[in-house]
A and B are shown apart, each in its own frame.
Chain A
Amino acid sequence: MNIYVLLKKTFDTEEKIAVSNGQIEDDGAEYIINPYDEYAVEEAINQRDAHGGEVTVVTIGDEDSEKQLRTALAMGADKAVLINTEDDLEDGDQFTTAKILEAFFDEKDVDLILAGNVAIDEASGQVGPRLAERLDIPYVTTITGLKIDGNTVYIDKDVEGDLEKVETTLPVLVTCQQGLNEPRYPSLPGIMKAKKKPLEELEIDDLDLDEDELEPKTKTIEIFLPPEKEAGRVLEGELDAQVKELVSLLRNEAKVL
């Protein structure tokens, strides 16, 4: 099976966010594989081990993105592709990303594409479904289970807490939800092997794309931080008196009861 994983690097979830000059401050920030994409990498490896084939991880990014790709290779992916847009694109949105990926997948023989449900930075969740639509293959979002039998695909899909049993066929694109699996940590031999695994670097010229075609359809005009939440009141006294006071405050001061 030809299995592809769409991967994005994101800030470590521990990172505090700061804004300078209207941009998210990324100096010295620690990057990780987007946590939802880790489920995708893990699932891709499991499916390959069950059905044979090859796992290719694909990312759009800059030269620093190699680190996350190597991590995915160390987990067990076979090949990696970095589409480096650093020199060519100033701006992009989900339209741009899907368009680049569409060009990448053009004429590729694909059985399964896995992506994260959302990236924890931009959190739009658009790229997976957008790409599937461009490739004219079915997609199922927020999956928590995946079984492939011949050409038939059995999926557990999380829908706001309910579970849908979905059936579809290959090729298919899925986006991964928490609960699908437990992503493994790269082993030391895995890390050693990853250094020698193939990592192909492409630029948008290599994909026969023109910068004009990639013009984003939306634009960010401002980035700001929410007002600092001030610590409120910690109530005092006997516990039952505190609870009485709390209910009264919620009713009369906060007006939420």
Chain B
Amino acid sequence: MSDKLLVIGETRDGSLRNVTFEAIAAAKKINADGEIVGVICGDDDLESQANEMIHFGADRVVTVKHDNLKTYTSEGYGQAVLAVMNEESPDGIVMGHTAIGKDLTPKLASKLEIGLISDATEIEADGDKVVFTRPIYSGKAFEKKIVTDDVTFATIRPNNIPALDRDESRTGDITAMDVDVTDIRTVIKEVIRKASEGVDLSEAKVIVSGGRGVKSADGFKPLHELADLLGGAVGASRGACDAEYCDYSLQIGQTGKVVTPDLYIACGISGAIQHLAGMSNSKVIVAINKDPEANIFNVADYGVVGDIFEVIPLLIEEIKKMKEEVKA
């Protein structure tokens, strides 16, 4: 049984990412009675983030502040988190399966020679065992996995394990730990922001996705407008990326990202099997396509047969109207 669980927090632009709160909830699923210790690294004051982790269910938080922790590097964060792990000897470790989570956790697991279950979408305690469900073959199938060693280590896919309710009355200890972060061989010289402001594709609750039917880079404009209106992100099929309508970082599918938003709106996407693998586990799927025979309609909950450049503006208008009515 995992008595002490470490949750590695992750910030973006100074705020904790939602997946950190989901990771706290995941730790509770591993052991409802365990002590949850949060870890946050950075080069600035980390107290408000630490408190936020406590409000979302952490019992206490260890912070590591160092100039070399301003931007994430596997070496810097690796040293910091390992120092905390050595001090705390946790029975379990949980982190979000994000760019940083994917980069950092294998290093930690390798150093400690322990197992790691990546990208879990569900966690169930079954007696003494904790069973993790994770997609394989990009969601064409799933596997249930257990850890056969003493330490349980997992990353969780954003948007699948709901965070606990925020409780501002919760309090806990915040300890600053001194770690000398040195010997950094890999340096980040510059970060160039290309992703749209705000919502990340893997964490988005709503995704508006475009395929070859979008026809041009300009054709993505109405999709962005719809995504903004819904507080969502824009994605794309491989066809749209190959045609250079958008960047490969937006690609959803077997190569590219696998996403599970609450609402996926597929615009001008035919629905190749590789694309379906990346999105068919979304909760609600809407397909808009001129071709009534398009494969995407086989997985869509709601389909509209029509030209996306006619349908999307109508949809934007209608959603605006609905929002007005709700407000009134």
B158 to chain A, nearest CB (A): 11
**Cα distance A217–B153 when bound, in Å?**
10
Task: Decide: A231 and B190 in contact? CB cutoff 8 A.
Answer: no
List, in ascending order, chain B residues with CB within 8 A of A163's CB.
191-192, 194
Task: Decide: B118 and A125 in contact? CB cutoff 8 A.
Answer: yes
Decide if the interface of chain B is mainly helix, strand, loop or mixed: mixed
At the interface, yes or no: A185 with Cβ under 8 Å from chain B? no
At the interface, yes or no: B266 with Cβ under 8 Å from chain A? no
Task: Decide: B98 and A160 in contact? CB cutoff 8 A.
Answer: yes
A148 to chain B, nearest CB (A): 14
Task: Decide: B187 and A168 in contact? CB cutoff 8 A.
Answer: yes
Task: Decide: A126 and B141 in contact? CB cutoff 8 A.
Answer: no
User: Contact check: which of A24, A167, A239 meets B141 at CB < 8 Å?
Assistant: A24
Task: Decide: B106 and A256 in contact? CB cutoff 8 A.
Answer: no
A211 to chain B, nearest CB (A): 15
Task: Decide: B248 and A178 in contact? CB cutoff 8 A.
Answer: yes
List, in ascending order, chain A residues with CB within 8 A of B262's CB.
256
Task: Decide: A217 and B118 in contact? CB cutoff 8 A.
Answer: no
At the interface, yes or no: B67 with Cβ under 8 Å from chain A? no
At the interface, yes or no: A108 with Cβ under 8 Å from chain B? no
Q: Please, what's the 1-or-0 string for B262-299, where 1 marks a CB less than 8 Å from any CB in chain A?
A: 11000000000110010011011110000010000111
List, in ascending order, chain B residues with CB within 8 A of A240's CB.
314
Task: Decide: B141 and A17 in contact? CB cutoff 8 A.
Answer: yes
Of chain A, the residue at the smallest CB distance from B132 is A218
Task: Decide: A160 and B99 in contact? CB cutoff 8 A.
Answer: yes
Most buried by B among A122, A126, A127, A231: A126
At the interface, yes or no: B218 with Cβ under 8 Å from chain A? no
List, in ascending order, chain A residues with CB within 8 A of B310's CB.
239
Interface locus among B36-44, B50-58, B85-93, B249-257 = B249-257
Task: Decide: A133 and B110 in contact? CB cutoff 8 A.
Answer: yes
B122 to chain A, nearest CB (A): 12
Chain A, range 168-184, C-beta contacts under 8 Å to B: 168-169, 177-179
At the interface, yes or no: A219 with Cβ under 8 Å from chain B? yes
Number of interface residues of A (CB under 8 A): 80
B298 to chain A, nearest CB (A): 5
List, in ascending order, chain A residues with CB within 8 A of B107's CB.
129-130, 132-133, 139
List, in ascending order, chain A residues with CB within 8 A of B135's CB.
123
Task: Decide: A122 and B255 in contact? CB cutoff 8 A.
Answer: no
Task: Decide: B119 and A129 in contact? CB cutoff 8 A.
Answer: no
Task: Decide: B144 and A221 in contact? CB cutoff 8 A.
Answer: yes
Given known contacts A129-B106, A158-B249, A166-B188, is B318 in contact with A244 (CB within 8 Å)?
yes
Task: Decide: B292 and A250 in contact? CB cutoff 8 A.
Answer: no
> What would 13 more interface pairs be, CB under 8 Å, given A161-B196, A243-B318?
A122-B136, A123-B258, A125-B102, A126-B118, A138-B75, A141-B74, A142-B103, A177-B248, A219-B145, A219-B147, A235-B303, A242-B311, A247-B322
Residues of chain A at the chain B interface (Cβ within 8 Å)? 11, 13-14, 16-17, 19, 24, 35-36, 93-95, 98, 120-134, 138-142, 144, 158-169, 177-179, 215-226, 229, 231-235, 239-240, 242-244, 246-247, 249-251, 254, 256-257
Task: List 27 A-B residue pairs with CB atoms under 8 Å apart, sorted by A's residue number.
Answer: A13-B277, A24-B137, A95-B114, A120-B138, A125-B118, A129-B107, A133-B110, A138-B74, A161-B201, A161-B247, A162-B195, A164-B188, A166-B187, A168-B186, A178-B248, A179-B249, A217-B113, A219-B145, A220-B144, A221-B131, A223-B143, A224-B142, A232-B285, A232-B301, A232-B303, A234-B305, A246-B318
